[in-house]
Amino acid sequence: MVLLIHLDAVKKERSSAADGAVQDDDPRALAAVGSLVMEIAHQLKNPLFAISAALDAFEERTGNDPSTARHRAILRHQVRRILALVQGLQEYARGTHVEVQATDLGDVLRRVAAELNDAADGRGVHVVTDLAPGADLRLEADPIALGRAFGRVTENAVQYSPRDGVVRLSAVRRDEAEGACLVVTVEDAGPGFLSEDLERVFEPLFSRRSESSGLGLAIARQIVRLHGGDVEAGASSLGGARVTVRLPA
């Protein structure tokens, strides 16, 4: 599909662009990029819905014709893929409004693990939480927004994990020089990050996988920073990737 080729070209161009083209602390540049992305996403939706409707009509006329089954499946998959990218672009460009309240981060992480385990089981991957009994994981935060952030990170780990692999979510409270914080790690046993990518994996549209939108980790960092925290990538003791999130407690 021509549309898919253009989207991949955009990703490649974005990945090869010089670091710092748009700085995180430049609100005017971010607002301009956000408006552009929202407009592009809006313009993409109409032709995608038209393609999907045309495919529905084609299937109604031809039924389950085995001679076209493979091509119809390819079209469905590509439409879903591009729609997911459009939705991710809209979420990233729109940003997240956080409503802070007393939150137990342990509850957030357990909910993320429970929600993703069905999808993970289908891939032969196990999502587990490693939370010390009685650990004080309370903070002022938006539990829904943090759930989306950790859901994005965990989903990314599941996608990269081998069959029978484990994705582990852990959290501890630490007293650091800047004050008390909660440190959450999401680890997997996949191939891990390339060392040269560690500074780039949270950039929007950056991904080494052609099937990935490259927006999951970018959206996660956006949400974490709205809470006054930050995130970094590294190597996991499980042999794969590790994403570490620090949130003020």
Given pLDDT bands bounded at 50, 70 and 90, which one contains residue 198?
Answer: very high
Mean pLDDT calculated for residue range 188-215: 85
Residue 84 has pLDDT above 70, yes or no: yes
Cα distances (Å, whole numbers) of residue 224 to 70, 79, 148, 248: 41, 30, 10, 10
Mean pLDDT calculated for residue range 148-172: 94
Give the phi and the psi of residue 195 in degrees, each rounded to 5.
-60, -35
Lookup result for tokens 């430049």:
26
pTM: 0.70
Render pLDDT for 89-128 as a digit per residue (tens, 0 to 9): 777 766 667 899 999 999 999 999 999 988 888 889 999 9
Q: Are the beta carbons of 216 and 158 closer than 8 angstroms?
A: no
Render pLDDT for 6-60 as a digit per residue (tens, 0 to 9): 444 444 444 443 344 344 445 565 566 567 666 777 777 778 888 888 888 888 8
The pLDDT of residue 190: 94
